[in-house]
């Protein structure tokens, strides 16, 4: 019997209908694919093509084989009982990184379990032995107050405020990408790790190793791509609310910021500035002459961002044509209403290149012609009513099989359209992401979260894990989205704490559906989407205005540093917000911290994220000294210190005395405010 063979730089295994191929794929990395009763399918949901492998070593025996690419080794062993294949991944030192389960002898388990589905395809489960001491990070954005995902069960699917990006970073020194866009789940159990896809044709995953988290992340970035360089208008403050419903409001807000001398890089015009979803243009009742509005904003140094929804209302001027042309997501059964909000809506299908061309031409005609160059891509999961994934179909395949690529293709539609128009400084705000979204200028925000301290803390974990999953452009609605009442003192305090944190997010953007709301009725008598209470920095009292103004100017003072951090993200895939262990992997305590982080390599940020807290315990990683910005006091690393944190102070520390300009800027702004 000959289980193994070599073809070029690939190692192939065949047994009883299964074909498994291991391919070198990037530095110190391997791609594993397996299928039943057929050949390996070409293409990839997430991985980019790589250069041909260099020094690859393959050894083949009767019951064993191995393949080595740089520092990673896959050892393949055929168990005599049942002829089941077990794969073990090791690093160059021979240390086990990851290992498939055995068949368990009489248990007859399968590490790669393909269960045939009616029609075509399989339900797939891939199982690995779990190390209970392992710590797991990444995987995108899940709304939970924890960083280490060991012990978690995660849905591999998108929802409003949930973005599944299936790359994990292990404390054992490897990274693992589940290269499958299908709906499923992962169980990071103490006894076994299981990756599940509800409908697929083949197993496909990628694994890498490195000496530290930064090296692992760099390997990952080489095979999935990095963000572009952040435009200059992404470095400052963005003003937003639900919602500026007419052009007079937009101009009034912009002019007031200008009169106050407070810089605004982007002003956002939120949803339902249109009449019907799928029109993709301004409603002339509320925006009768948008071109001079956009021109005045640009003259004030402000970029105009407009909200885009992928929904198409049955009453939209574009619905019939898009339906006839097959440009919409299709349903398997029932009435074709995929979301009911201000009418019956279905979603456009960005996995179809004809849809991308059609919709972009509408955007170019109705917004681009006005001088609008940046877009807010909302509803990007997409937000199916009830998330009945099994009932929907894209051009790329069923949602069960390909559903998670939707937000990436949505971002791609705009990015490629903007590039075709000659635009280079591209960043588009979007509510979801998958592997590769970063290549298309996607700035992900964390969705319609609640205005609570609990949700505030969850965002810190979400942002850090998104960065580790390869999505470095990330932000939140400062203050949260739902249930913030501008007249309540408790919310105002939460807003200030969140605003301080937002200053040290990749993009600083205030937004929210603030209470109390005002109903809007158009001239025909139709009730339109409401508008929230004011959400500008002068809307929360004089004292809070001065605090927020100071942090906007602190963000301005950070431009050179933030630009350099963004350059790292562009060049190497490094997160902008970094876990402490990313920079200090040898410090075991750094792997335990979930409520503080590094902005770039040198600024340690410790948000105050509990109600009525006015001091803060901060862990300072070993291997550096740390200067407390508000006082200039220096502490040695490897200890926890408690510092005062009145409402207007977020604890900040500088690594080894680097970036002393931040202390100067902090003191200068404090002095100017007092004067």
Residue among 448, 529, 556, 648 flagged as catalytic: 448
Query: Among 451, 448, 411, 456, which residue's Cα sits nearest to residue 429?
Result: 411
Structure token digits, residue 318: 């574009």
Say how far apart CA 21 and CA 634 lie, in whole Å.
54
Query: Among 132, 434, 373, which residue's Cα sits nearest to residue 234?
Result: 373
Structure token digits, residue 401: 């099989």
CB-count burial class (<10 Å; 0-12, 13-18, 19+) for 523: exposed
CB 181 within 8 A of CB 403: yes
Structure token digits, residue 296: 């005045």
Say how far apart CA 367 and CA 364 lie, in whole Å.
6
State in Å, rounded, how far the first CA of the chain is from the last one: 86
Q: Cβ atoms within 10 A of the Cβ of 318, count?
A: 21
Say how far apart CA 196 and CA 200 lie, in whole Å.
10
Residue among 45, 378, 477, 568 flagged as catalytic: 378
Determine what percent of the chain falls in helix, strand and coil, rounding each to the nearest 5: 30, 30, 40
Specify whether 134 is catalytic: no
Prior bond of 243 cis (ω within 30°): yes
Show the 3-state SS of 549-595.
Answer: HHHHHHHHHCHHHHHHHHHHHHHHCCCCEECHHHHCCCCHHHHHCCC
Say how far apart CA 251 and CA 299 lie, in whole Å.
12
Say how far apart CA 332 and CA 313 lie, in whole Å.
19
Specify whether 378 is catalytic: yes
- At 124, which helix (H) or strand (E)? strand 122-129
Residue among 10, 28, 217, 381 flagged as catalytic: 381
Say how far apart CA 347 and CA 345 lie, in whole Å.
7
Query: Among 14, 644, 552, 647, which residue's Cα sits nearest to residue 264?
Result: 552
Prior bond of 269 cis (ω within 30°): no
Q: CA 309 → CA 302, 392, 667, distances in Å?
A: 23, 18, 43
Specify whether 381 is catalytic: yes
- Kindly report the length of the chain: 675
Q: CA 49 → CA 45, 53, 97, 205, 453, distances in Å?
A: 11, 11, 25, 14, 43
Q: Cβ atoms within 10 A of the Cβ of 324, count?
A: 9
Say how far apart CA 452 and CA 455 lie, in whole Å.
5
- At 460, which helix (H) or strand (E)? helix 453-468
* Active site residue ranges: 378, 381, 448
């Amino acid at each position: 019997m000959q289980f193994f063979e070599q073809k070029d730089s690939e190692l192939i295994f065949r047994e009883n209908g299964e074909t498994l191929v291991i391919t070198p794929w990037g530095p110190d990395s391997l791609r594993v694919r397996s299928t039943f009763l057929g050949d390996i399918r070409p293409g990839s949901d997430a991985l980019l093509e790589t250069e041909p492998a260099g020094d690859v070593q393959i050894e083949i025996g009767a019951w064993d084989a191995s393949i080595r690419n740089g520092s990673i080794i896959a050892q393949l062993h055929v168990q005599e009982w049942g002829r089941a294949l077990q794969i073990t991944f090791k690093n160059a030192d021979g240390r086990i990184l990851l290992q498939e389960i055995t068949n368990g002898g009489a248990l007859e388990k399968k590490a790669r379990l393909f269960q045939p589905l009616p029609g075509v395809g399989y339900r797939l489960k891939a199982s690995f032995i779990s190390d209970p001491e392992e710590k797991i990070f990444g995987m995108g954005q899940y709304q939970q107050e924890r960083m280490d995902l060991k012990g978690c069960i995660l849905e591999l699917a998108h929802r409003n405020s949930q973005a599944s990006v299936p790359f994990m970073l292990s404390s054992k020194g490897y990274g693992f990408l589940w290269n499958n866009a299908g709906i499923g789940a992962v169980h990071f159990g103490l006894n076994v790790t299981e990756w599940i896809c509800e409908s697929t044709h083949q197993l496909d995953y990628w694994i890498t190793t490195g000496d530290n988290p930064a090296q692992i992340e760099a390997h990952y970035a080489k095979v999935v791509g990095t963000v572009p360089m952040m435009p200059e208008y992404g470095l400052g403050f963005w003003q937003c609310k639900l919602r500026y419903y007419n052009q007079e409001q937009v101009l009034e807000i912009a002019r007031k910021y200008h009169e106050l001398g407070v810089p605004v890089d982007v002003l956002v015009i939120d949803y339902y500035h249109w009449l019907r979803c799928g029109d993709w243009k301004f409603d002339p009742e509320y925006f009768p002459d948008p071109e001079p509005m956009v021109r005045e904003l640009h003259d004030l140094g402000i970029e105009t961002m407009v909200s885009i929804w992928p929904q198409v209302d049955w009453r939209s001027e574009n619905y019939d044509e898009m339906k006839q042309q097959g440009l919409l997501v299709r349903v398997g059964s029932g009435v074709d209403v995929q979301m009911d909000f201000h009418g019956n809506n279905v979603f456009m299908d960005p996995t179809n290149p004809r849809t991308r061309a059609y919709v972009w031409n509408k955007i170019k005609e109705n917004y681009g012609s006005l001088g609008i160059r940046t877009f807010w891509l909302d509803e990007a999961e997409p937000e199916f009513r009830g998330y009945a994934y099994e009932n929907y179909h894209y051009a790329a395949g069923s949602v069960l099989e390909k559903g998670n690529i939707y937000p990436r293709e949505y971002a791609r539609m705009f990015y490629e359209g903007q590039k075709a128009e000659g635009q280079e400084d591209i960043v588009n705000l979007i509510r979801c992401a998958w592997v590769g979204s970063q290549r298309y200028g996607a700035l992900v925000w964390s969705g319609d979260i609640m205005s609570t301290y609990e949700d505030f803390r969850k965002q810190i974990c979400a942002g850090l894990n998104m960065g580790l999953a390869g999505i470095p452009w990330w932000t939140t609605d400062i203050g949260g989205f739902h249930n913030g009442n501008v007249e309540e003192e408790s919310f105002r305090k939460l807003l200030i704490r969140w605003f301080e944190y937002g200053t040290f997010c990749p993009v600083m953007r205030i937004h929210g559906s603030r209470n109390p709301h005002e109903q809007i009725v158009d001239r025909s008598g139709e009730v339109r989407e409401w508008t929230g209470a004011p959400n500008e920095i002068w809307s929360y009292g004089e004292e809070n205005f001065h605090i927020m103004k100071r942090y906007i100017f602190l963000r301005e003072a950070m431009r050179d540093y933030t630009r350099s951090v963004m350059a790292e993200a562009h060049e190497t895939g490094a997160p902008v917000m970094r876990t402490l262990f990313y920079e200090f992997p040898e410090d075991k305590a750094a792997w335990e911290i979930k409520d503080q982080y590094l902005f770039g390599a040198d600024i340690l940020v410790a948000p105050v994220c509990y109600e009525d807290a006015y001091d803060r315990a901060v862990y300072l990683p070993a291997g550096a000294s740390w200067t407390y910005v508000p006082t200039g006091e220096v502490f040695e690393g490897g200890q926890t210190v408690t510092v005062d944190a009145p409402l207007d102070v977020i604890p900040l520390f500088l690594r080894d005395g680097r970036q002393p300009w931040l202390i100067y800027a902090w003191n200068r702004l404090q002095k100017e405010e007092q004067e």
